[in-house]
Amino acid sequence: MDNERTEASATPPRTKAELLAQIDQSRGALERAIGQLSDAQLVAPGAYDGWSVKDHLAHLSAWEAGMVALLQRRPRYEAMGLDEQAIQDSETDDLNAIIQRRSKDRPLAEVRAEFAQVHMQLLDTLAGLTDADLLKTYSYYQPDEPGEDSGDPIVNWLAGNTFEHYAEHLPWIQALVEGG
């Protein structure tokens, strides 16, 4: 599970208010794009990678659920619907493929409900954090997870799995909106 930073937002939010504002802005853009699509368009496979918008939504939900679990000190892999072995043996692209295969045949209504529910869980979890909590490291929240902690504040992980992640997937979804 990566913590890559995009060039567009190489500087993470410094406060919870900034984080929530960036999440809200990016999520709003994503939801506006999705709102333009019919159910048939939401489940149609994309020309580029075969992923439907529904697949993108399930993917975003899984990674966001992982952040909720992380902040609640539960195993991320379980919240993402993965097993511990997959996490240890797989690269991010492999995990994404597992998530996509697992959700491919799920009903659209179920994926959309999960997309909304997981986001509300994230916002509820963030509500209980302070600005200082956002500066704590990954290992503070997951001390027993194997691997090295980069020492980066958890706000970097939150950015990468929320507003930056929405922005990463938005062009693919917009291409589907435009019929590409």
pLDDT (tens digit, 0 to 9) for every residue of the chain, 180 residues total?
A: 444 444 444 678 999 999 999 999 999 999 999 998 999 999 998 876 889 999 999 999 999 999 999 999 999 999 999 988 887 788 889 999 999 999 999 999 999 999 999 999 999 999 999 999 999 999 899 888 766 677 889 999 999 999 999 999 999 888 877 765
Q: What gap in Å lies between CA 152 and CA 157, rounded to an integer?
A: 8
Whether 4 is covered by a domain: the verdict is: no
Residue 33 lies in a domain: no
In the chain, DSSP assigns E strands to none
Range of the domain at 166: 14-28+39-177
- Overall domain count for the chain: 1
Residue 111 near residue 58, CB atoms below 8 Å: yes
Residue 101 placed within a domain: yes
**Residue 32 token pair:** 């506006």
Give the pTM: 0.90
Output the CA angle 141-144-150, nearest 5 degrees: 60
Whether 34 maps to a domain, the answer reads no
CATH number for 155? 1.20.120.450
Report yes or no on 152 lying in a domain: yes
Does the residue 106 lie in any domain? yes
In a domain, 139, yes or no: yes
Closest CA to 86 of 107, 62, 105: 62
Contact status, residue 150 vs residue 138, Cβ threshold 8 Å: yes
Q: CA-CA distance, 34 to 102, in Å (whole number)? A: 21
Which of 122, 167, 123, 124 lies closest to 29 in space, CA to CA?
A: 167
